[in-house]
Every structure is written in structure tokens, then in C-alpha cells.
Structure 1
Amino acid sequence: YVLVFVHWLGSIRRRAPVLSAHHCLLRRAMSSVRVIHASYVNVPATAAPPPGPIKLTAMEAPWVVLPELQHVLLYEGQDMPPFDDILLSLRSSLAATLGSFAPLAGKLVHLEDTGDVAIACSTSDGVRFVVAECDGDMRHLAGDEEHDVRVLERLVPGVDMGELPTPVLAVQATRFEGGVAVGVTVHHGVADGRSLWTFVEAWAAACRGEAHAVTAPSFDRSLVKLPGGEELARSLLRKWQCWRRRS
């Protein structure tokens, strides 16, 4: 397949040109995204049991208040397999990848007894997988001069991550004529850009059948050496809660 476009959606929003009202109406009439169905991809039953609650460190806690990360990858090609076959491959490889990235299938929760925010994992966890279709032209999304931002925003799964508990990750596959878009939404308190890309690389490797191409991540909090870090993280989260109540 030909990867024609990879970009952070936030950057697209910032640099997209201002379109006239007539142009915007025309684009909306020409391009639409329709969700077909949504389901969940679970962590494999054969995977190691997920770790207990993974508390956010003082280096991660400040990111809880930021908007989620959204990433879109566009693929085009004239000889792509049927969309149903692509979905089967994406789902099976996502499940295999979650065997090593199980916390991404969990939920971000507030631990009332300690005041910490943590990733809660269980054997029943799953990642929401949205299937959609778009009748627009992929070239209008991947061009350098102009981006159809309204359509781009519909190519990532819409997840309200502003309140806890919240899912950590959701993905979406959208069918185009002669192409496929894969969108990912992840909570910024759980992953930064590099961490998200590590997961995407592992997912892509599993999709290609390269199960051991990417080193499995470590979720051992004891490796983070920060004196007073737990209390600092709680302090930052308390400030966030006060800000939310005032707003």
C-alpha cells in the first residue's frame, strides 16, 4: 500500500486555510463520513494477566488536562484487498498487539482512596473499533495546500475523554474509494506522540506478521526515580480538580 499522508490532526487544524462559507457548504455536500458499526477488540485470553492499577507519575499527571492525541494515516492503492479482509487483518493484529500493550485497553480512573489517577486494567478490557465509510476524495485530505478538516475530524473515533473514568484508546477504519484511513485517539495522560507511534509501529508489524519486530514496553513504575513524585503527582491532580470545579 502507499502511505500518502501521516500527520497530527492538531497541526492540521492550526494550519488549515480558512475556506469561504460557500466552499465549506460545497465540501460538506460532497464529502461525508458515515459510521457503519462499532465493536470492541479485546486483549487475548492467552496474554499475561494485566498489571494492577498503573499510577500516573508526576511527569505524566500534567498531561491529564490536555486534549487527546488524534492521529490519521491514509493509504491508497488500486489493488488493495477487499475492505472486509482489511478489517479482519486490522482487528486480529490489534488484538495480538494488545497482548503486549494491555494497559491501552484499560480505563483511566481516579482512585478515591489515594487521590491518584491510574490506568485500571482487567481481563475483560477492550479497545473500541469503529468502522466507517467516506464518499469523499482522499486526495483532498492528503494535499499540501488544502485540507478538508471537517472530514479529517470524522476519521478519528470520537471519544469524550474529559471526564474520568475514560477509555484510554479507540481506533477507526474508514473505507474510501481506492483507499483506507486508520484513525487513532489516545488519552494524552497515558501516551505522548512517541509512545503512540511505538504502539502504531507494533500494530503495523503484527499486521505484516512480524510478531517480534518491536520491543514490548515496560509498565514498571519503580523504574521512574523521582523523590516525592507520588505526592507531587497528587498535588498536580488536585489543582486540576479545583480548576475543573471552578470552570
Structure 2
Amino acid sequence: MMTSFFDQFMSPTLLGIPLLILALLFPLILMPNPTTQWINNRFTILQNWFLIGFTKQLFMPINMSGQKWASILTALMMLLISINLLGLMPYTFTPTTQLSMNMALAIPMWLSTVLLGLRNQPTTSLGHLLPEGTPIMLIPPLIIIETISLFIRPLALGVRLTANLTAGHLLIQLIATAAFVLLPLMPTIAMLTTTILLLLTLLEVAVAMIQAYVFVLLLTLYLQENT
């Protein structure tokens, strides 16, 4: 029995073994198996159509050197969407509600874009720390501010994903508990609360997909600055 509403965000264990890895492997169930046929089924066609449209939209403004990131960023978004959606099912665990995991995804990807820019175009990358036409007196504080904002980017990526999913899951838990408590006391209010819960669940499905998209979109913007 839960002693706190936040217990649902704790990493579950079985016989002392964390189930986080098992939760990360669940999205593989949704991936189509490679075959020699051109067309497998409707689900595969829909998935391919979505991936092609997503990749084309995100990487259209990026030059050819940045197009190499299409596979890894598309795979990352599919991983996040699958994990987020599977986490909305009953008796499941959402790994992306853990800040440690989100930071483990955000920091290496962000650092890779920064190192890529410093390697290929160091002058342009360092030029982002100082806007053109800045007065001489404002140069030192602006460089400090831009440097801090640069290092805050991965933290913002991880915290945004964690906070949105945690808030949604916690709100669903609170409304579901309220509906369960009100059912024997005020059935009419309980039915209204249940309706709100269903609408909130639909909203969370949208949030799960949007947050994965935003996470990858911001990474492509960082990549665009450094290619």
C-alpha cells in the first residue's frame, strides 16, 4: 500500500532487482520486425509514414552535415513516446519521471552538439556567447550570462520532461483517489470526477507525445546552431 502519492514515481524492484531496464525494453514490442517484404501491415505503414514526416519536418532547416543525426534523434523520440505512453497503462512504471534518466539522455546529446560546433566551426560557436554590436561595457556580463544559459540547457531539457510527466501522473492519481472516495458518499460528484479523469487521461496521452517531440525539437535547434 502506498504511504505517499509520490511513491508511484519510485523505481520498482523485484527481489531487489530494479525493473527500470525492463521498462526501457518494453518499447521494443512496438517496433516492427525487419522483413524482406515491401509492405508488412497497416501498423508498419502508419509508423513509417509518421517517422518520414517527422524526420522531414525537423531536419528541413538543418544543413547536410547535421542530417547525419536523423537516425539517432528519430530513434530517441520514438523511445520517449513509447515509454511515456506505456507508462500511462495501469500497473506500469514511467522511467521518464526519473530526473536521473532524463539528464542521462539530455547531457550527452547536448554535449555532443556543443563539441560538434567547437570542432567544425569554433568561431561561430563561440560567437553565440556574444551578440553582435554589444557595447564594450556589457561584454563581460553578457558572456557570463550566455555561458550560464548554455550550461543550463541540458538541465532545462531534463527538468521539463520530468516535471510535465510527474505533474500529469500526480494529477491523475489525485483525481482517481477523489473519485474512489466520493463514490459511496456522492455518486453524482464521483461520476463527474470520473469524467474529468477520462478527459485528463486523454490530455496526458497528448502531453506524453508532445513532450517527447519538444525534447527532440530542442536538440535539433541546438544542432542547428552548431552545424
- The bucket for the TM-score relative to the shorter chain is under 0.3
Higher-helix-fraction structure: 2
TM-score (norm 1): 0.23
TM-score, with normalisation over the residues of structure 2? 0.24
Name which one, 1 or 2, has greater alpha-carbon Rg. 2
